[in-house]
Structure formats: structure tokens, C-alpha cells
Amino acid sequence: MHHATRRAALRASLRALELDALLVTNLLNVRYLTGFTGSNAALLVHAESDEGTAFCTDGRYLTQAAGQVPDLERVVDRPCDAALLKRAGGLRRIGFESHDVTVDGLSALEAAAGGAALVRAPGLVERLRVVKDDAEVEALRMACAAADRALAGLLEHGGLRPGRTEREIARELENRMLDHGAAGPSFESIVAAGAHSAVPHHRPTDAVVRDGDLVKLDFGALVDGYHSDMTRTVVVGRAADWQRDLYELVAAAQAAGRAALAPGTGLAAVDAAARDVIDAAGYGEQFLHGLGHGVGLQIHEAPALSKAGDGTLLPGMAVTVEPGVYLAGKGGVRIEDTLVVREGAPELLTLTTKELVVV
């Protein structure tokens, strides 16, 4: 039922723009509105009701579409976008996802549209996706739980120890997420040891973990199409004073960023809440990225928590809070959680401890 509810919400936008329908070609948006997970599809959402709404895929997905999209008219043809437009008789103004359609693709759509006017309508579905419904939040909870359990198993069974390579640790972490219900990792897991931990998006190598290393682990699980995202930084062996000091600074900044997650707060203000803590300690130039981002059907989606963030938080937004300080050639710390904006206090989805772990 949540797919029908989402389509109903989209119709309000279509009517406000005086569109008779919207041609949805972005596959993630098709999934959001129908539940279809195949690799080829399009959707024509009628502005009045589902009676005029049609879904299209090709013959490879006949059985899958019948199971996943039982509540809409199903067309089997290709190319799907043109096929739907050819069937859209009587519609005068049809919106299309101009952020997804190429220049050559637009020419083909215009030829298929007949007398209907094609109107640029970028981002309509994405604006709905910014606020998560209950089904989406539950998928995010499960994805975060799979990641939490994977890291707990890695640490409990000695998977993070001197002599292992970054690649070996990343592979074990990803396998453990699969064991806990994930369809796969949200993205290529980051395992960064020693000086590599000062590289924000380091890719795992055959570098060996050594005693005294900071090890940064940035990873997530994919469940029902939804992505989790978490970073924890640990110390192998014995923590040096500078490592503890750096960790405490980032932890304080992360706590400030989490505390700022309240409906109505400006996106840039949330970033500033954490960044000011790091700036005051003299490490502002070593905080090299925005504070966080939205998560959902994409690992990076709106909203953006950054200096340039435009807009305000809304209840139901799912975001990360991930400040970091990176000392080139020495080491870095990042701490990241996935949370849902709520009235009163945010809901924390990544539950692994944020105390400094020394293994």
C-alpha cells in the first residue's frame, strides 16, 4: 500500500504544475513508486488516479512485474518510455525527468509523444524521497543492524589484528554483513590503517595493520534496496595520547552534530554545530568534507549537511553525521552514524558504541 500512497503524494505535485502525467524513467524512482527492482522499466503516473497510470517493462520481467507491480496496468514493450507515451492519448502536458533523460533520448520521446507537450519536471520524486515513510525507515533499521552485527562479529572473533591486510578485513566485514541479512555492501567498504586513515575515502590495499595503528572502517549494508552508512575508528594495540585526544575531539563534534538534528534547523547550521567544535580546537583545515548526507535508495542523496547546505531539516529525513579530522601522513579519525530526524530527538539507527575501542 505504501507505493500507492507515494503515487498519490506525487499527484499533488503534478496538479500544482498543471501536468496531466509524469513519465518516470529513473529506475530508483520507479522502484520507489511501484516496488519494481528490475533493470528496465518506466512509469507513466496519471495526475488524477491509478486508473490512468501505466507501468512498462520488457519480456524478461513478466513474472517479476506481475508479483511486484500487481496494482497497475502493465505494458510489455521496449523502449519503455516511448511505449508509454505512444499509449498516452488525450494527455496535453506530460512531465518528464529532465535530470535523467539525455538530449538524444529527449528527441526520441518527443517523436513518441505525438501532440502532447513534454515539460521538464526534474526532481519531483526525489523531493518525496527526502522524507522517509515507515516502510523505508524499517528497511534502514535492518540495514544498520546488519552492519552493527557484522562489526561486532569482526571484533569479537579477532578479525582486526596486526598482520591482516586492509583488503582481508574489508572482505570479512562484507561477508559478515551478508551473513546478517544484507543483499550486499552499500558501497566499497573503506578500511584504512595507519597513515591511510588520514585519507577520507581510502580504498583498501594490501597494507598490513600494525600495532599502534588507527584503523578507520567506513561501511554499510544494503537491505531491501536501502543503504546504511557507519564509520568507526579503532586503535590496534595501545592508543597514544595524540590518538585519544584526536578521537575525543571528533567524538565531541559528532555529538554536537547529532544534537543539532531537529526539525526546522538549517542544513548549514547543523554542519556548523559540529564544525565549530573542530575549528575551536585549531583543526578546521583538517575537516575536509561536509558533515553528512541523506541515505535511502542511494548511499548519497538529499539533503546535504554542509556549509553550502540549502534548506531545513524535516521530520523523517534520514541522514548521516560524520565529522572527521585527518592529519596527513600520521592518521585520522572519523565517527559516523545514520539517524532519522524526529521531533524531540533524532532516532539513532547505528548502535555500535562510539567510545574509543582499542583491540
Q: Which domain holds residue 228?
A: 134-348
Residue 359 lies in a domain: no
CATH assignment at residue 222: 3.90.230.10
Does 313 lie in the same domain as 218?
yes
Does 315 lie in the same domain as 247?
yes
Q: Show which of 80, 113, 129 is a domain's final residue.
A: 129
* Residue 318 β-bridge partners: 340
Does 304 lie in the same domain as 216?
yes
To the nearest 10°, report the CA torsion of 209, 355, 350, 186.
-20
Q: Which amino acid is at 230?
A: M
What confidence tens digit (pLDDT) does each residue in 343-352 have?
Answer: 999 999 999 9
Does 43 lie in the same domain as 158?
no
Q: Band the pLDDT of 115: cuts 50, 70, 90.
A: confident
Mean pLDDT computed over 51-76: 97
Instruction: Report helix, strand or coil for 230.
Output: strand
Does 253 lie in the same domain as 158?
yes
Does 185 lie in the same domain as 321?
yes
Q: Show which of 107, 129, 151 is a domain's final residue.
A: 129
What confidence tens digit (pLDDT) does each residue in 230-259 have?
Answer: 999 999 999 999 999 999 999 999 999 999
Element (H, E) at 259: helix 241-259
Q: What global pTM score does this model have?
A: 0.96
Does 69 lie in the same domain as 100?
yes
Q: Show which of 82, 103, 129 is a domain's final residue.
A: 129
The count of structural domains within the chain is 2
Q: What is the mean pLDDT of the chain?
A: 97
Does 254 lie in the same domain as 146?
yes
Mean pLDDT computed over 136-162: 98
Q: What is the pLDDT of residue 164?
A: 98
344 within 8 A of 264, measured Cβ to Cβ? no
Long-range contacts of 283-288, Cβ-Cβ distance < 8 Å, separation of 24 or more = 283/249, 283/325, 286/325, 286/326, 286/327, 286/332, 287/253, 287/323, 287/324, 287/325, 287/326, 288/200, 288/324, 288/326
Does 79 lie in the same domain as 102?
yes
